[in-house]
Amino acid sequence: MTRAAATLPADYFDRLYRENADPWGFRSSPYEKEKYQATLAALSRKRYGRALEVGCSIGVLTGMLAPRCERLLAIDGSERALGVAREACRDWANVTFEARMVPAGFPDGRFELIVLSEVLYYLQESDLDRLAAQCADALSPGGEIVLCHWLGETDYPLPGREASDRFARTMLMRLPARTILREGTYRLEQLSG
């Protein structure tokens, strides 16, 4: 399998969502359901002030995070996915959706929680390093970052384990704690200050 050499562009994802409104089975897959429950269980607080979800897709995890956040900014590069996400989370007034590709479109401000689920391996190394530095700068004191990535083979720029380890190496220069909570089909981990 040949890996993509560059960060995957927004039109890659728009094409997937055009072909299938839920290309990874976020709404129906037992794997996704279990992963979402594990991700929520990994959160150390019952409530967060301002949170960021990078790569929100069609908003399934967003809807689960919303009750735990005073304000949640959910971003994705695909306008098609965001349209579905906005509809799915229309009852959550505390959620804002924005079309942004990271690292170029990383939002301003500070966040008590940053969630990156199934997104890091879409980035080439230099973009991943830049995103990690941005997350470190944007994390509020005492905040946390939750990462979750599938560890199977893909044609994305980076394998899941390598992307996760590279991100964590950059973060550990600024945050003292990395806890791998689960490693099997996917890796779930928390980085905190």
pLDDT tens-digit readout, 122-180: 999 999 999 999 999 999 999 999 999 999 999 999 999 999 999 999 888 888 789 99
User: Over 80: is that where the pLDDT of 193 sits?
Assistant: no
- Which structure tokens are listed for 40? 């929520």
- Which letter does DSSP use for residue 184 in this model? S
Q: Does residue 1 lie in a domain region?
A: no
Look over the chain and give the mean of its residue pLDDT values, rounded to a whole number: 96
Question: How many CB atoms neighbour CB 180 within 10 A?
Answer: 12
Q: Does residue 98 lie in a domain region?
A: yes
Query: Distance (Å, rounded) from C-alpha 119 to C-alpha 126?
Result: 15
Distance set, CA 90 to CA 55, 56, 67, 85 (Å): 18, 14, 13, 8
Instruction: Count structural domains, the chain.
Output: 1
Q: Does residue 163 lie in a domain region?
A: yes
- CATH number of the domain to which 76 belongs: 3.40.50.150
Predicted confidence (pLDDT) per residue in 32-45, tens digit: 999 999 999 999 99
The pLDDT confidence band at residue 71, using thresholds 50, 70 and 90, is very high
Which SS3 state, helix, strand or coil, does residue 17 take? Answer: helix
Q: Does residue 153 lie in a domain region?
A: yes
Contact 54, 40 (CB under 8 A): no
User: Over 80: is that where the pLDDT of 114 sits?
Assistant: yes
Distance set, CA 60 to CA 6, 128, 132, 134 (Å): 27, 24, 24, 25
Both ends of the chain: CA-CA distance in Å? Answer: 38
The predicted pLDDT at position 96 comes to: 98
Q: Does residue 4 lie in a domain region?
A: no
Query: Distance (Å, rounded) from C-alpha 106 to C-alpha 103?
Result: 5
The predicted pLDDT at position 171 comes to: 87
Domain that holds residue 81: 10-192
